Structure 1
């Protein structure tokens, strides 16, 4: 851009709040080693370029902006003399990347006092050695604290997820263990009842027919239709009456098992026609045990399938065996996160999924997107719990022009308008002390904006808060250096 050197006046720069306490000699050195330049409207420096100068505005208007998802977003605009920008961390030397962290523009002819970065660093160390040590401590201390608390945030989330996963795994595991123990008892009972049947006078054809009937019963169990409570009660009453007529003891215990398996009196007439009356109770008991073993094996199959599904969901959530950057189905990521958080969401909160199944896969860091969903859903659950523990969590996806929208909506207390602009700031939290670090939304914002070139925004009124994540549909060059703290 066009710039023109101009005379430096020690008297003028003394008027700036940065330099008002300097001595005449110090002001003279600044004018000798620095310079005053007039910049025409345009870009002074660009975000990401090496930071070579420290700028202090004398007069004019400047605008600072940052790249967010490919867009240049204005973060500040001012005409106040003395505002500064540029190589503000030059005094740290090579201990931190010396680049411009924003883009500086002038919107009208603007004069700056300009110091080369190395001159600024030397003057800081020479004139303000104690201040430099304090600034270094603040800079690296804050950075280390943010990293440590960010790590704690992730560990807390991991602990919560682990507890939820353990709870979810425990239910099917316990069901499988109970079913296995009961199955062992039923198999032993079948052996005893089979021995009673074998003592009867059966022809080879009758025994063959009895075994075939057992196989047919097992097949019927697998195809048993679900019944309403009223239908089941009516059939149990009718079957109990049939069993009692045949002299079967404990018929009230057998009837529910047969009904669950889809059997009725007409079906049991077949076994009554095969065996003799004295052995009918043993045959019915043997058939009941057959049905129970089938039902128990179905329960074991369902429980182990549930465990396998949970393990797959945990793998999907962690992405430990996947490439860090790849094409992903956002719905799979959302489903795995919801499953991992099921224990924390609880039964009082209804989960509603409104997915646009026509959406394509997108290029992303899936493990980090899962961290975003976790933070947003966790916050939604927390605000609904604070409003009484019940509510509705709605997870919605849609296409928004050339982007994919993921919206997390809750019916909690909402976010007050006066703090809405601060919720993405590091360490800002409305949770009680010890319950939140204030980094969840900050980390989420940086994952979405810095790593995925997307945007994260919020709309909120009491009873309706919506966090909206917009992600590009097309691939962009992965940027592994922009890791969230």
Structure 2
């Protein structure tokens, strides 16, 4: 039987029992109310009778017209009293009610006759009355010899002449009527007491019957109710509790609890459906977990930084690459404002750049990050980044957030700048080679002519003396004139200028020449030490500058293998860096000038590295980007050619296939880094060198 039919039968049975209980309760309760009402009416009649009796006794004791009037008034009230009339409805149920009402009628008639006689004859009871009867409290004289047909009293007609004999008879008759009145009242009171006792007994019996019937119904209904509860617990509640427990465990991710349905009722079908749903939820949850794991793996493996926010601009997701670039872990970043985690500046102005997340939230469109954007990490490190911010929408719904995808392009930009610089070097190198040849020829003639002029004027050659004598002048006088006019000084300046031009030409030729034929293996630390020894001899008296006053701190890593290089060119590069650094510290009047020179190996990249740093004034971003350009210099006019660093850069990158870069900030000094491969790029069979 299905659960629905079973519950319907139980409901019908419970309804029938409810109607039965209601019927029994209503019947008994109605009888109980009737008996209670009868008992109340008896009490009211007794109270009315007692008050009348009390007033009558007062009337008999005081014997005056005032009390007689009060008695009349009270008796009128007694006749109209509804409490006795209310007892008429119980005549059939209580036989004594009929006798009670009959006696009341007799009482009313007797008192009316008594009062009528008193009004007619003006007779009051005598001063001396018999002792009260034990039952009613008054002496009851013998009844008259001629009683009234209804009540047994002889009430003679009033005498025309009130003689003594008539007066005595009237008093006797009046006293007999009063005694009869009290006797009737006593009988009425007895009836009332008996009826009260009988009604109380009926009320008790009704109560006992009601309680007995109710107890019987409860005893009959209790097994059925217990059976219903046990059945409901076993067939309904137990399976509902199983479903609830299974739902709770499913919500906690536990799908191990199985629900067995062995019936065909509604709960069994519900359990079967729940089992199917449980299996489906488990499959979908497993698929979702696998998809989430795959997505997490992709997110962890992607080489770009990924950062997601909600519509309030707070971080909701950050992948490991973004953690590394921003300096914030996922636990620290989630929930924080994106402006706190993702801080970006404009390059090179270093102004705070508008965060693209809020532009996406405002426009709902994809926003690309501007070029030359710097990401400042939590630790203060800076990265040049590029990429875009896009809105997050699910199935075309409203925007739920923004995803930032960015990558570190610092190395890319550096390599791009190096490529641009190399292109410049190549173009300038070709130009320099042509200019060097064009300048060298006339420069050689100029320097040679200047030397010949100086020899013919200042030298003690016989040909000079003969030529002076032939001209009619003395050689000493000519020399005196030349000294006075500064001709010899001009010739020296001319030669120095020519030599300086020759150096420029040689640098230009070095810039254009690769010179790979002089390559051989050398110890890099020995070449650096040789360059430091050469720098120590650089003494400029005009600037009162001595390289030997600079503190040199060496940091050489042992075990670096010899590298293929041109020793002269490497020394020239190191010497140029040392000379430029010392001059920069001299011009900036650096206190306690210091060089830090390091040689170490980058075993991962198979390259030997030279680092030369100073504590000078450093350089800003604009200078740092142009420092390797040919003919670019920050020295005063006439103090430099602007080719030293560009030639050094060309030697390292072109002749030795290495790298050269500078790291510097204003007021922080400068650090030049040179990297040279362990093996020549032309040797394709070279094996990887490992540290010893």
| TM-score under structure 1 length normalisation | 0.34
Q: Counting helix residues as a fraction of each chain, which structure ranks higher?
A: 2
Structure label with greater radius of gyration: 2
**Of the two structures, which has the highest relative contact order with CA contacts closer than 8 Å and spacing of 6 or more?**
1
